[in-house]
Amino acid sequence: MTSNTRIPKAEITGVYGAVLKKFSRKMFGVVPDGLAVMWHNRPVLKLGLGLGRKAAKWNACDKDLKSYAHMAVASLIGCSFCLDLGYFQAHNEGLDVAKAREVPRWRESDVFTPLERDVLEYAEAMSHTPPTVTDELSARLLERLGAPAMVELTAWIGLANQYARSNVALGIEGQGISASCGLAPLARPSAVASPA
């Protein structure tokens, strides 16, 4: 399944392009449409890939929490590519895929702990325009996560917003990456609470 992007896909060429395509096919089974769109501006593509690689090395905050937070951002913003990729990555990294598939309807789901619910709420609150993060929610998370993890989670959610909003604006959609490894479909998004 391929998407109809708002900017035509470029032909990915050259040595760097060959490596990128080979790595993508090995990792995902396909070359994501987003790479071909971003190929039009390689410095922007390299920055995005580099930020992602560097952020993946952060380790002050639990990987599961960051994964759920990124998927909550993607669900709220409507980035089907981020949801598809996030679900795939949760599976490949050994995270709880039963919980990951429930992120789009986390308010109604009974699989999340109170801490996970606060992280999901925080991710959505940061993603509203304007942000709706409350002092109470921040204090609960700070108490349970500590300052280093809270700073990391906040930066992670900020990056998730950058990627999700860029993908939606460019018309980059999910490509069935998660389905290629036999994962059950994601739960359907629930009605999102309006920002306060």
Domains identified in the chain and CATH numbers = 14-181 (1.20.1290.10)
Kindly state the average pLDDT of the residues 144-172. Answer: 98
Among 10-24, 59-73, 168-182, name the one with the lowest average pLDDT.
168-182
- What's the mean per-residue pLDDT of the chain? 92
Give the count of beta carbons closer than 10 Å to the beta carbon of residue 164: 26
Give the count of beta carbons closer than 10 Å to the beta carbon of residue 116: 21
pLDDT over 70 at 193, yes or no: no
**Interatomic CA distance for residues 74 and 23, integer angstroms:** 24
Write down the residue that tokens 């913003």 correspond to.
77
Helix (H) / strand (E) containing 49 = helix 42-56
- Band the pLDDT of 39: cuts 50, 70, 90: very high
What local confidence, expressed as pLDDT, does residue 117 receive? Answer: 98
Which pLDDT tens digit goes with each residue over 60-110? 999 999 999 999 999 999 999 999 898 888 888 888 888 988 999 999 999
Take residue 79 and report the two structure tokens written for it. Answer: 């980035």
What local confidence, expressed as pLDDT, does residue 192 receive? Answer: 53
What local confidence, expressed as pLDDT, does residue 3 receive? Answer: 59
pLDDT over 90 at 19, yes or no: yes
Q: Which of 95, 123, 108 is nearest to 187 (CA)?
A: 108
User: pTM for this structure?
Assistant: 0.91
What local confidence, expressed as pLDDT, does residue 124 receive? Answer: 98
Helix (H) / strand (E) containing 36 = helix 33-38
pLDDT over 50 at 131, yes or no: yes
What local confidence, expressed as pLDDT, does residue 41 receive? Answer: 98
Give the count of beta carbons closer than 10 Å to the beta carbon of residue 44: 12
pLDDT over 70 at 148, yes or no: yes
What local confidence, expressed as pLDDT, does residue 1 receive? Answer: 47
**Interatomic CA distance for residues 119 and 113, integer angstroms:** 10
